[in-house]
Every structure is written in structure tokens, then in C-alpha cells.
Amino acid sequence: MSVEIAPNYSYVFDFENDFVHQETRRWMVKNWTWVFYYCGIYMLVIFGGQHLMQNRPRFELRGLLIFWNTALAMFSIMGACRTAPELIHVLRHYGLFHSVCVPSFIENDRVSGFWTWLFVLSKLPELGDTLFIVLRKQPLIFLHWYHHITVLIYSWFSYTEYTASARWFIVMNYCVHSVMYSYYALKAARFNPPRFIPMIITSLQLTQMIVGCAINIWAHGFLKNVGHSSCNISPMNIKLSIAMYFSYFVLFARFFHKTYLSTNARKGKRVATKTSTTSSDISSKLSASAEQYAQNPKVKAQ
């Protein structure tokens, strides 16, 4: 008995059913290089904005921040719910090779294909995370803007090639962002989630980077054995992806150590325990960079 490549979704929305992947691919092939202009504008805005804000009072923007993080959390949760079933279905019925080498999640599955397209597009508006950091005069660490730029460029480039292994990166990113943005929405609304939650989020991001490197290693082996005609991922894409994921792992590991394991972090935790401060005060004592990175430590990752 044959098994369908796409899972049996309980419900398919009209906008998902109307998705035509050939049209979006043609558009992306023609326009993806515009991403470099967007990144240039992004850099000018954030560093120019920091200069303009030097002698100005910080903006609170709490209401807008709650809306922003809530919207991204809902989007990520929906994306995870619509793409994860496809990956699980493929792994159960077709195995690891198919999940890494066959782009059926775009070509044969309208639901997953639609949310893959939205995922790629979402990396552009997600640059807006940094505006909150600039306008609220929080420290802007290298990991934050480096991650935003490289994920945006890689995602748009990979869509032009229908990189098959991207199904893994997309599902992982949606799942991590579901947790991450939900947490930051609660923080912005002055709720006080347990302090171990941000540590778990960063741990999930580190796991995401390890799995991303493993997928690229498997993709390299498959490509070497069967060739590009049977494994739809280019050698250049593998090199770019593994370099990107490895650099993320190093930066996130450094961030994790500095924020949660270093001497200063432990001292900040002891001080926070002895004083009856607000949750935001506690976060700032743990690490100034950790508080600012609460706006977006993703991996949007992939």
C-alpha cells in the first residue's frame, strides 16, 4: 500500500490550498538579491539610530512590544503546527534521506509549501526586532544583528534552490520561536516567568545549531553518494549553511556561558536573591546583554 508524500491534514485553509509554489519560486529567483539592499538599509538604520538616540531619552514602547512579540509568537506557533506534521510524516514513512534530499515539502505539499514561503518572507519584517533595542537604548550585541542578517540572506537564497534540507531548519526555527516569543510577550506584559525559562530557550537554540550542523553533514554524505540529481541541495549551500550554523553555535555558547555560568552571572543571581526587586531588575543584574537579547535571541535561526 502506497503512502502519500503529504500528511493527511485535518483541515486545509483556502489560502493554503491556493498556494502555487512555481509562482513564488519565479519571484524569488528574480528578486532574492534585493536582500542585500535590505541588509544595507538595516545596518544604516540600527547604527544610525543608535547615534541619534545617544542624547535622547529612551522610549518605553511596552504596548507595542507586547503586540509585536505576541504576533510573532502566534505566527510561529501556527507555522510550527503546519510544517512539523510534514517532517514527522516524511521521517516515519520515507526516512532521513528523503527528509534531507527531496523537497516534497514545497513541491508536493501545499500546506507546508505555503508556510515555508511565509517563513522565508518573515525574515525581513523580523529585522524590526532590532528597532526596539535601539529605541529603548538597550545594548546591541554582535550576535543579534549578525544572526538577523545571515538568516535573512540564507533563507532567501535557499528558497531559489528549493534546498531540501531546509524543511528541518524551518520546523526547528518555528518551534523555538514559538517558545521564545511567547516568553518575551509575557515579559513585556510584566508577567514574571521562572528565571530558568530563558536558560531553556538558549539551550534549545544551541540544540538547534547542533542539529543544523548534523543535517548538513548528512546532506554532504548523501550528495557525495548519489549526486545532485537525487539529492536537491548544492555543495555551496551546504558550505554556507554549516559555516553559518557553526558560527551560531559558537556565539550562542559564548552568550550562554556569559549570561548564566560566568562569575558575574552568579554574582548577579545572588544579589537578585537578596533584594526584592522587579523581574526586569533581576534580568538586568544577570546580564545587560541578556535583557536586550530578550527581544530576539533566535535562530530565527533556521
pLDDT at position 152 over 90: yes
Q: Which pLDDT band holds residue 143 (cuts at 50, 70, 90)?
A: very high
* pLDDT tens digits for range 47-101: 999 999 999 999 999 999 999 999 999 999 999 999 999 999 999 999 999 999 9
pLDDT at position 293 over 90: no
Q: Which pLDDT band holds residue 275 (cuts at 50, 70, 90)?
A: very low
For range 226-249, the mean pLDDT: 95
Q: Does residue 6 sit within a domain?
A: no
Q: What is the pLDDT of residue 2?
A: 63
Q: What is the pLDDT of residue 182?
A: 96
* Distance (Å, whole) CA 210 – CA 204: 10
> Between vectors from CA 77 to CA 7 and to CA 138, what angle results, nearest 5°?
150
Question: Percentage of residues in the chain with pLDDT exceeding 90?
Answer: 81
Q: Does residue 40 sit within a domain?
A: yes
List the catalytic residues: 147
Q: What is the pLDDT of residue 269?
A: 58
Q: What is the pLDDT of residue 273?
A: 46
* pLDDT tens digits for range 96-127: 999 999 999 999 999 999 999 999 999 999 99
Provide the domain count of the chain: 1
Over the chain, what is the mean pLDDT? 88
Q: What is the pLDDT of residue 292?
A: 47
Containing structural domain, residue 272: 15-293
Q: Does residue 139 sit within a domain?
A: yes
Q: Does residue 1 sit within a domain?
A: no
pLDDT at position 302 over 50: no
Q: Does residue 29 sit within a domain?
A: yes
pLDDT at position 297 over 80: no
For range 236-257, the mean pLDDT: 95
Q: Decide which of 298 and 201 is more confident.
A: 201
Q: Does residue 46 sit within a domain?
A: yes
pLDDT at position 289 over 60: no
Q: Does residue 136 sit within a domain?
A: yes
Q: What is the pLDDT of residue 268?
A: 58
Q: Which of 68-72, 122-126, 277-281, 293-297 has the lowest mean pLDDT?
A: 277-281
* pLDDT tens digits for range 202-230: 999 999 999 999 999 999 999 999 988 89
Q: Does residue 26 sit within a domain?
A: yes
Q: What is the pLDDT of residue 261?
A: 85
Q: What is the pLDDT of residue 194?
A: 87
For range 190-200, the mean pLDDT: 89
Q: What is the pLDDT of residue 197?
A: 92
